[in-house]
């Protein structure tokens, strides 16, 4: 069975969806570690309830990003992590992790990238009055939501849509799409959208 580590900074709703998919038998992986940079995050409670080991840190307690990423890399290596899954982790991944786990770090973002990268993608979409937004799963590189796209699913933005209602729609898509993509990646059934297109 493949091993994953989940990185989160907040409530960890996608982390919860991953744990649920494992419990239902829809996702055959073992979550070996939760990495969290916010000691008060609800994701930590989710991990504890599920018996998932945690590494909780505050960036300000370290002299540099390199220092805490070296610590994280050591833990990931020790636990034989096959895939790093970012689930609401609000820090840019630095060169240390990107080098050691190149091509093995994925993220989920609440827009149809390259549209609306960065923070508050849902607010950005509403401000732009788009008729359609969505969800993107992508590999992580040194940029802000710029890595190769693995999968996307669109979400219709209805007239009078609020941030809360659109967020709810997007979460529903995320919670199904992310476990599915993780499963496909670890079985070697999926790489990126561009590779998939070239094969077809």
Q: Cα Rg for the chain, rounded, in angstroms? A: 16
Consult the annotation and say whether 1 binds a ligand: no
Please give the Cα distance from 181 to 146 (Å, whole number). Answer: 18
Consult the annotation and say whether 83 binds a ligand: no
Q: What are the structure tokens assigned to 112, written together?
A: 């149809």
Q: Would you call 175 a catalytic residue per the annotation? A: no
Q: What are the structure tokens assigned to 28, written together?
A: 């055959």
Do the Cβ atoms of 114 and 36 come closer than 8 Å? no
Q: What are the structure tokens assigned to 48, written together?
A: 């504890």
Consult the annotation and say whether 3 binds a ligand: no
Consult the annotation and say whether 90 binds a ligand: yes
Consult the annotation and say whether 86 binds a ligand: no
Do the Cβ atoms of 136 and 113 come closer than 8 Å? yes
| Tally: H helices and E strands in the chain | 7, 7
Consult the annotation and say whether 144 binds a ligand: no
Consult the annotation and say whether 4 binds a ligand: no
Do the Cβ atoms of 11 and 88 come closer than 8 Å? yes
Consult the annotation and say whether 22 binds a ligand: no
Task: Given the residues 109, 138, 171, 175, select the one marked as catalytic.
Answer: 109
Consult the annotation and say whether 129 binds a ligand: no
Annotated binding site: 12-14, 65, 90-93, 107
The residues annotated with a catalytic role in the active site are: 109
């Amino acid at each position: 069975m493949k091993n994953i580590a989940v990185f989160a900074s907040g409530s960890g709703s996608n982390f919860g969806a991953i744990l649920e998919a494992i419990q239902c038998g829809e996702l055959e992986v073992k979550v070996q570690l939760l990495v969290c940079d916010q000691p008060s995050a609800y994701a930590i409670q989710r991990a504890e309830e599920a018996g998932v080991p945690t590494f909780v840190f505050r960036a300000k307690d370290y002299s540099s990003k390199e220092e805490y990423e070296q610590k994280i890399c050591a833990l990931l290596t020790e636990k034989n992590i096959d895939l790093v899954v970012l689930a609401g982790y609000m820090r840019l991944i630095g060169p240390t992790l990107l080098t050691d786990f190149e091509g093995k770090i994925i993220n989920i973002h609440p827009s149809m990238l390259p549209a609306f990268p960065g923070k508050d993608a849902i607010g950005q979409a509403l401000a732009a009055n788009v008729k359609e937004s969505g969800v993107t799963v992508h590999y992580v590189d040194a940029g802000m939501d710029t890595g190769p796209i693995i999968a996307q699913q669109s979400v219709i933005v209805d007239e009078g849509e609020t941030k809360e209602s659109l967020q709810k729609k997007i979460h529903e898509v995320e919670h199904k799409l992310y476990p599915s993509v993780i499963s496909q990646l670890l079985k070697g059934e999926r790489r990126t959208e561009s590779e998939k297109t070239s094969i077809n």
